[in-house]
Amino acid sequence: MPVSSSKNIENLERGIGHSFRNRGLLLEALTHRSFYHENPNKSKNYNERLEFLGDSVLGLVIVEYLFHHDRKFTESMMSKVKSYLVKGVLLSDIANRISLGGYLRLGKGEEDTGGRHKKSLLADAMEAVFGAVYIDGGYETAREVILRLFEERIESVISSGQFHDYKTEFQESCQMLFGTLPEYRVTRQEGEEHSKTFTIEVFIAETLYGRGKGKSKKEAETNAAREALSRLSVNK
């Protein structure tokens, strides 16, 4: 997809939700260092400075949103939700929603190794786009763009409690109360290879404390840890 095409740039701008006054900023946000080094005559900069800026802008927008939220989150809770939301996997999901990978300017090596689909590369480019929007349109514009892309995900994370690190909390509780670490055991696997469901039980010194199911072992362990924490709080 030729980035230089005015029509393609307009399609991307619609996906982002912002029409750039200075499209050079958007071009810079889409330029990976591999393209910059291989094509010095076609690019003045690559996107890492904008990525650094965009990371800070994204963090501020999310914290401000949480600060004014009806649930009145504590500082600790805001920190946990923010940390979860700025992870690369969520940013790459947002990037995929607007087909950002198709617009990236990549060097031959990155192109040949599937750079357009790499989660880390997509996440970095998404942050660079946020940085470019901030420079081009100011904070309020950047805030509008980010919340348009993120607000539904933010509310989903809040309502589901996905941001809570149950495994770490349970591990710390085990060390404090019992002087040992929990042990997770896979007790059941169901379904086809591409759509398995796992059941995992977590033990403290051979005593069963929690059981959880999930589409991945990590999800099942998290659910087991959540149940185990509930049992610990009841027994206190």
- Please report the pLDDT score of residue 112 as a whole number: 92
SS3 235: helix
User: Do 172 and 156 lie in a common domain?
Assistant: no
- Please report the pLDDT score of residue 234 as a whole number: 56
Q: Which residues pair with 88 in a beta bridge?
A: none
- In a domain? residue 86: yes
Q: Which of 28, 51, 124, 127 is catalytic?
A: 127
- Cβ-Cβ contacts under 8 Å for 3 (sequence gap 6 or more): 9, 27, 30, 103, 104, 105
- Please report the pLDDT score of residue 6 as a whole number: 56
Question: How many separate domains does the chain show?
Answer: 2
User: Do 127 and 196 lie in a common domain?
Assistant: no
> Any idea what the CATH number is for the domain that residue 172 is in?
3.30.160.20
- Give me the residue label for tokens 């649930």: 71
- Please report the pLDDT score of residue 125 as a whole number: 97
Q: For residue 165, give the DSSP letter.
A: -
User: Do 44 and 116 lie in a common domain?
Assistant: yes
User: Do 201 and 107 lie in a common domain?
Assistant: no
Q: Which of 160, 195, 213 is the last residue of a domain?
A: 160
Tens digits of per-residue pLDDT, 164-216? Answer: 778 888 888 898 889 999 999 999 999 887 788 999 999 999 999 999 998 88
- Please report the pLDDT score of residue 218 as a whole number: 85
- In a domain? residue 115: yes
User: Do 106 and 174 lie in a common domain?
Assistant: no
Q: Which of 55, 110, 124, 221 is catalytic?
A: 55
Residue segments in the chain with a per-residue pLDDT below the cut of 50? 1-2, 4
- In a domain? residue 1: no
User: Do 139 and 192 lie in a common domain?
Assistant: no
Range of the domain at 134: 6-160
152 among known catalytic residues: no
DSSP string across 92-144: HHHHHHTTGGGG-B--HHHHHTTGGG-HHHHHHHHHHHHHHHHHHH-HHHHHH
- In a domain? residue 32: yes
- Please report the pLDDT score of residue 212 as a whole number: 94
User: Do 128 and 190 lie in a common domain?
Assistant: no
- In a domain? residue 103: yes
User: Do 51 and 134 lie in a common domain?
Assistant: yes
CB 123: neighbour CB atoms within 10 A?
23
User: Do 176 and 150 lie in a common domain?
Assistant: no
Q: Which of 160, 191, 220 is the last residue of a domain?
A: 160
User: Do 14 and 130 lie in a common domain?
Assistant: yes
User: Do 142 and 201 lie in a common domain?
Assistant: no
> Any idea what the CATH number is for the domain that residue 64 is in?
1.10.1520.10
127 among known catalytic residues: yes
User: Do 149 and 208 lie in a common domain?
Assistant: no
Q: Which of 124, 140, 160 is the last residue of a domain?
A: 160
- Please report the pLDDT score of residue 40 as a whole number: 85
- Please report the pLDDT score of residue 76 as a whole number: 81
